[in-house]
Amino acid sequence: METAILYGVGKRMRFGYLNGKCSESMVMDSYNRNKKEADNFSVFGYRKYEIEKMLKECFNPLLKIKLQEALNKISSAKRISVAQNSINLQKLESFKKNACGMGLRKVIKTMKRIVKKSKDKEALLTLMLLETEYANLSAKQYGGQKKDIIYERKDILLIQMTDLLEELNWKYGYNEKIGKNACYLVYVYLPNGVQLTWHCNDYYIYKYYPYIDAEWDGQVCMTMEKILTYISKKYMSN
């Protein structure tokens, strides 16, 4: 019997087979059950601590391998996330001072005046995108409850803007090609085709965003810059 099959069943059965106490058919039945359980199990939606708990309590060798691989992937993604967060926080400080030549808060105030005066829905949607990314970056400065509250604002904005995205016929959606510790990657495309993305853990986001067959454009820590460039050219060039 193949070694891979023997190590796909429990120790007791493996030793039992090697000692002549378990038949080959018993081992194969156990292996097939374990393989089916492992193949059908998805770690999607589970937090790291939940996967760790399952790993400790798991008796299926094949499922244990899958759980450990998931934890390794989470750890790798966490390292990437920490490095990117450092870059984003440095950029945030620069945006606060220099965005569109006036600083981020003044850009937001200016966009609010434009929206109030013009009642333009595209300007409102652009403002919501700006505030979404501002919340996304700001949350990275904190921990605990304050971080959760700011991220909640980001998720609320992502949901609130979907009516405008649909009305204005902007391209948008979500998928699970996340690359980091999150459940979903949310995509919004500006009218000029520029891609914006956010990681999201709101399990209900699929109720508001259609599934989209898209790939991240690979531009790291550039969402705010993309939004500000669009605002500068469309709303502040005159």
**The pLDDT of residue 133 is above 70:** yes
pLDDT the model gives residue 201: 87
Inform me whether the pLDDT recorded for 218 exceeds 80: yes
User: What are the strands, taking DSSP E only, across 8-109?
Assistant: none
Q: Where are the domains of the chain?
A: 75-235
The neighbour count for residue 11, using CB atoms within 10 Å, is 10
> Which residues in 93-109 are b (16+ Cβ under 10 Å) and which e?
eebeeebbeeebeebbe
Cα atoms in the Cβ-side hemisphere of radius 13 Å centred on 29: 7
User: Each residue of 154-167: pLDDT tens digit?
Assistant: 999 999 999 999 99
Q: Note the pLDDT tens digit of each residue in 39-58.
A: 999 987 788 899 999 999 99
Residue type (1 letter), 49: Y
pLDDT band per the 50, 70, 90 thresholds, residue 235 = very high
